[in-house]
Chains A and B, each alone.
Chain A
Amino acid sequence: MIARHTFRAMGTEVELLLDGEPSDRFEAAEAEFERLEALLSRFRPDSELSRLNAAGALDAGPDLLAVTETALAARERSRGRFDPTVHEALMVAGYDRSFELLVPDGEDRTALASRCGGRVDIDGSHITLGRDVRLDLGGIAKGYAVDRAATILDEVGPCLVNAGGDLAARGGRWPVGLDGTDLVLELADGAIATSGRDRRRWRRGNDERHHLIDPATGRPAVTDLLHVTVIAPTAVEAEILAKIAFLGGDVEVPRVLVRADGTVTLAGGLG
């Protein structure tokens, strides 16, 4: 018998599935999501991330430190395709508040300059941002929360955590449908993340915008891909690789690429 629990966190609907007696594990997993959102959201002015962005330097707690270090390591190995310093570019593109509150057709600010790839230094637990550098950890923070929640549920039995585009499964076999396709993937231990421009999009002026910034241009990425789904060992890793793949980077993992014309391509040994 599979127990199910849903709640809302990090701007999305979160679904927990557990093959076993949940006891207090559902509440613990939900509390972990809320705790991490309170720390890592750029939309909460009192979050640890917002305080870092405001002050430019901070003695970070273990979660902010771990996510920031992971994001910077991903920036290095992807040669800048994945970049947590896209905060200003997102603001200029119009994503300046939680997506639910976003004005669908607001002021066009793209004439303002925005740059990515700014300096971030970590010395022990002290994080220092370069001048005019601010961090956005949105996607990777959600992947981190998914992995943490899966670890909490895993103590009881096989489980799955699904938070919008980030999903992790531990134990068991879980048939997972990919939205926008007819595909169903059976996932055992592992994670799935989907990055794309078919959601979280809005208009500014005459142009449509989306939240996936190409750090090379500082603007929403221009690509014929609609969305990319990646399967990796952890949700954090899947989130990183999905963004890299969407921006045209090479990744050597199972993946599904959906183009704007509806073409679906399976790659990386899938299918």
Chain B
Amino acid sequence: MSLSQETLEAHLNDPAVLCCRRPAGTVLSAADFEDPAIFPDLVDSNLMTLKEGGLTIQQALGATLINDGEALTQLTPDLLDGVKDIPSASDDDESDDSADTSASSDDGGPDSCSCCGTAGEIPTPVAQASAGGYVHLHLDKAEGLDLVFPAGGAVSGSCPAAPMTASPAASVPPAEDDTPADRVLRTLVKKDYPVTKVVIGSETSYADGVLTVDGSLVEAAKKADPLVKDVEMTVINPADRHVYSNTIMDVIPVAAKAEGKLGEGVTNVLSGAVFVLTGMDEAGVQVHEFGSCEGYMDEKIRYGRPGCPDDNDIMIRVDVKIEKGTGMERRGPFAAHSACDVIVHACREAIKNLDGVKPIGEETFKDVRRAGRPRVVLVKEIMGQGAMHDNLLVPTEPCGVKGGQKNVDLGNVPVVLSPNEVLDGGIHALACIGPATKEITRHFFREPLVEALQTDEELDLTGVVFIGSPQVNDEKTFVSERLGALVEAMEVDGAIVTTEGFGNNHIDFSENIAAIGSRGVPVVGVTFAAYQGQLVVGNKYMDAMIELNKDPEGFENEILADNTTTPDDAARAILMLKTKMAGIPIEPPEHKWDEAVIEANKRLVK
């Protein structure tokens, strides 16, 4: 594929390769060279080899072919007359490794910050105007401190930050002193009550660390939905986890509102025991879509992930059998979740009023408006394609089913929750996708990005937007466009977009990122991609990405929640967003998934 003049200029130091067959005597111009951006792909697919001693495009430009040349022939001095004597530029290109495509990301169009491209070599301190109208002032000695203020005279008189022309020494203000006071919008207290033992008895109760679950609730659960054919309940203690289980559909904490509505007041939470919903249909088909995690529970769960049981949690397994053939219809999994919720809800009732019982822990969550700090939004893509792919938004009780609005019925359009609403069980997940990449109900109850952004005093978290991934392509475009309009109205300075799963939802993911990035808002994308989930679509706004993979081979490995967001991932995503908002370049990725890149980024998180 030949190069345009603009592309040519970005690739002058890349290897010169003929794009098409050219006859002897051709004087080489842009139209004769293959686009270096696809060299790694061509090399990987054995369509081309790149040897040492090849010419760069700059050297070959204007030279004459001595003989006929086939497409994808690498140009070397012996093939050409009139080669320019220009030293190879690759020697001083620090990020170059032969077929590296780094240059392809340097021509990122008008939105990329080419003026900052050499930040590493500039003497300190230096101020630079960057994309988004900010001046970026960097001081090498004040490690980790960057001051950012609007360029172009919008700086108010009281602002200590100096315009670009001021003496650098005068421009180090104690920014915190001028920071306006935080405004707390609502407060949520989660009170933790310990569970040391779970027994199945004749009445549901909680006392002295013992949760007793009424065994006859199983019968009530069977009546929750006509599609439910059988329900079994088992208590699995941490020491006895080597038990076989059907695929795990969800992990649900027992949490009940003691005061106030979802997102505020007091929520009582049982600590030390969680419900685990498993299921198959009457024909023995596991209720799953892409990969299933049926097997031994000590092997098939990544204990300690935000969505999973913790190491010492007692699991109350509710195994639901649903009508034959309904596992891949939306109503089947919903019936299983409804049945399980009958039992969970009875436990909630038992802990609603624990006056006089002392909690073993208390966590306070605050939705805070931090004026004067960059406004950011977290966008979480959830599945909305029927089958298991649905999520219930803002149920009446934390992590409950009743009262929740179905994402699919809402048309997958973006819906805003406050951070506290999310952390108070505002999402009941019917997600299936692959077991390793799905975000299940407990994940949202302790979502690492929400928790970290909410408490980050350098940022003003405006809200959490949930957007579905619809089944039909034009609906995908519709919801992405609505997201763009919403984010525009929110006037944010930065955004993080996450998605669970991989495959066709990466189309939504890339469109959602473009909807935000094209409005000039710095955006960071977070997903599992690695080997198995490599992106098939993308755009220039996806230049700051966080990889969620934890599998050594880069696969969706059928271990529950293995490849979901952890606090480590959240910390990298937030650092990357702040860095991007400050106008500091994020280096382009390697052409292939490389764990070393992730490890190096982790080391940059203080």
A and B are partners in one complex rather than unrelated chains:
no
A residues apposed to B, CB below 8 Å: none
